[in-house]
A and B are shown apart, each in its own frame.
Chain A
Amino acid sequence: MSHIHFPDGVLPIWLWGSGFIVAILVGLILFRFAKREEWIRHLPLLGMMSAAMILGASVEIVPIAYHINLTVISGILLGPSLIFLATFVVNVILALFGHGGITVIGLNTLTLSIEGVLGYFLFRILWRLTRRLMPAIFLATFLALLCSTLSMIGVVSLGASHYEELIHHEDEKGIFEFKLLKDKVGHPVEGATREKVNLKRFMAIVLPLGLIGWILEGMITSLIGRYIHRMRPDLLRLERGTQ
Chain B
Amino acid sequence: MIQLSYLDYSAVEGKSFLHGLSPKVKLVGMGLVLLAIVTVRSLPGLLLLYVILLGLFLISRISGRIFPLTLYPLIFAMLFIFVSGFQIGFILRIFLKVLCGSTGVVLLLATTPYPSIFRILGKVLPSFFVTALFLTYRSVFILLDVVEETQHALHLRGGLQWRHPWRSLVNISNAFGHLIIKGIDASEKMYESMVLRGFKDRIHYRGE
Task: Give Cα A203–Cα B133 distance, bound, in whole angstroms.
Answer: 34
Distance, CA A102 to CA B101, complexed state (A): 8
Could you tell me if A223 and B177 are in contact, using CB atoms closer than 8 angstroms? Answer: yes
Complex contact A101–B101 (CB within 8 A): yes
Query: Would B181 and A231 count as touching, CB distance under 8 A?
Result: yes
A201 at the interface (CB under 8 A from B): yes
Instruction: Say yes or no: A60 contacts B75, CB within 8 Å.
Output: yes
CB-CB < 8 A to A86: which residues of B? 132
Most buried by B among A39, A176, A198, A219: A176
Q: Is the CB of B132 within 8 A of A50?
A: yes
The minimal Cβ–Cβ distance linking A35 to chain B, given in whole angstroms, is 13
Report chain B residues within 8 Å CB of A231.
177, 181
Taken together as a complex, chains A and B put the C-alpha atoms of A41 and B201 apart, in Å, by 9
Q: Does B83 contact A (CB under 8 A)?
A: yes
* A22 surroundings in chain B (CB, below 8 A): none
Give the residues in chain B near A129, CB-CB below 8 Å. Answer: none
Whether B40 and A196, one on each chain, are in contact in the complex, defined by CB atoms closer than 8 angstroms, is no
Q: How many residues of A are counted as interface, with CB atoms below 8 angstroms from the partner's CB atoms? A: 81
B35 to chain A, nearest CB (A): 9
A226: chain B residues at CB < 8 Å are: 173, 177
B105 near A: Cβ within 8 Å?
yes
A147 interfacial by beta-carbon distance below 8 Å: no
Cβ–Cβ contact A7 & B73, under 8 A: yes
Query: Total number of A-B contacts with CB less than 8 angstroms?
Result: 246
In Å, the complex CA distance between A203 and B126 comes to 38
Please report the C-alpha to C-alpha distance between residue A204 and residue B79 in the assembled complex, in whole angstroms: 11
Cα distance A163–B81 when bound, in Å? 11
Interface centre among A48, A58, A77, A93, by most chain B C-beta atoms within 10 angstroms, is A48
Compute how far the CA of A194 lies from the CA of B111 in the bound complex, rounded to whole angstroms: 43
B93 x A51 contact (CB < 8 A): no
Tell me which residues across on chain B come within 8 A of A103, comparing CB atoms. 34, 38
| B89-A232 in contact (CB<8A) | no
Among listed B16-24, B54-62, B134-142, interface-contacting one: B134-142
Q: Given A77-B180, A97-B105, decide whether A44 and B187 contact each other with a Cβ distance below 8 A.
A: yes
* B63, CB-defined interface residue at 8 Å: no
Partner of B34, one of A5, A8, A43, A197: A8
9 A-B pairs with least C-beta separation: A98-B102, A47-B135, A227-B177, A5-B76, A223-B173, A51-B139, A44-B187, A58-B1, A48-B183
- Name 9 interchain pairs, CB-CB below 8 A, sorted by A: A6-B76, A9-B40, A48-B135, A93-B133, A101-B37, A166-B93, A169-B42, A198-B84, A227-B181
